[in-house]
Homo-oligomer: A and B are copies of this chain.
Amino acid sequence: MKIHHVGVAVANLDEGIALYTSIFGARVTHRATVEGIEGAFLDLGTAELELIAPTRPDSPLSKFLADRGPGLHHVAYAVPDIKKALSDAAAAGLELIDTEPRIGLHGVPIAFIHPKSVGGVLTEFVEI
């Protein structure tokens, strides 16, 4: 079974589309309305699911689990140059959690963007 899509709730669809097409370079593949919901689909390529668990009680992930329980945590985007991606994000007004890249689970540089800048979605850049 493969992931078909990841659903992100937005209060206003046009504002959501503007965010993802301008900041993340996504392309709208189609748009539809059904049963009280309107949706837009953005082509985002091949993805993995990453399961993450804390290994110590003072990890930020332990706080997340205590506050909200298990579940969807973040979406990560592959970027060719993470320092440029961070400076572009900062220039676009996004609040960076990591102003400098650090090494993540894949052994390559990563950095997180604050969810309040990205419609409530904790967002990660991965330099690939």
Interface size on A, residues (CB 8 A): 78
Q: Is A52 within 8 A of B4, CB to CB?
A: no
Identical subunits present: 2
Query: CA separation between A18 and B59, bound complex, in Å?
Result: 23
Provide the A91-124 mask, 1 if CB < 8 A to any CB of B, else 0.
0000000000011111100000001000111101
Q: Smallest distance from the beta carbon of A117 to chain B beta carbons, Å?
A: 12
- Residues in B whose Cβ lies below 8 Å from that of A75: 3, 5-7, 49, 72
Q: Smallest distance from the beta carbon of A107 to chain B beta carbons, Å?
A: 7
Helix, strand, loop or mixed for chain A's interface?
A: strand
Q: Is B50 within 8 A of A39, CB to CB?
A: yes
- Most chain B beta-carbon neighbours within 10 Å: one of A25, A71, A104: A71
Q: Is A59 within 8 A of B71, CB to CB?
A: no
Q: Is B72 within 8 A of A121, CB to CB?
A: yes
Q: Is B40 within 8 A of A7, CB to CB?
A: no
The interface of chain A, by Cβ under 8 A from chain B, is 1-13, 16-17, 20, 24-26, 29-30, 32-56, 58-61, 64-65, 69-79, 85, 102-107, 115, 119-122, 124, 126, 128
